[in-house]
Amino acid sequence: MANYSIRSYRRIPTPAHGDDDQDERNEPIRELKISADLKSVKLELNELRGGYVYEINVGSVAEQAIFPSQAHYNMRALPTE
């Protein structure tokens, strides 16, 4: 799990198109599941926060750099099951 990190934060909209990150925190990864074909990874977190942006960073995998190594997901609302 050392090759993955996730942080969450929110931004308050302003006329200047953004502001500093608010309520930022590093999200602990509870579980990591690698698919049988080794082409995807599922990361499970302890808690999700609606209205927050999630920044996912990936280090090298099998000594290979990943590109792009960063992704962002805007979780507008918590998923329902």
The model's pLDDT over 26-72, given as tens digits with 9 standing for 90+, comes to 999 999 998 998 888 999 999 999 999 999 999 987 788 889 999 99
- Specify the pLDDT at position 53: 95
Looking at the predicted structure, is the pLDDT value of residue 81 above 80? Answer: no
Residues whose CB is less than 8 angstroms from the CB of residue 31 and which lie 6 or more positions away in sequence, other chains included: 43, 44
Contact 54, 70 (CB under 8 A): no
pTM of the model as a whole: 0.83
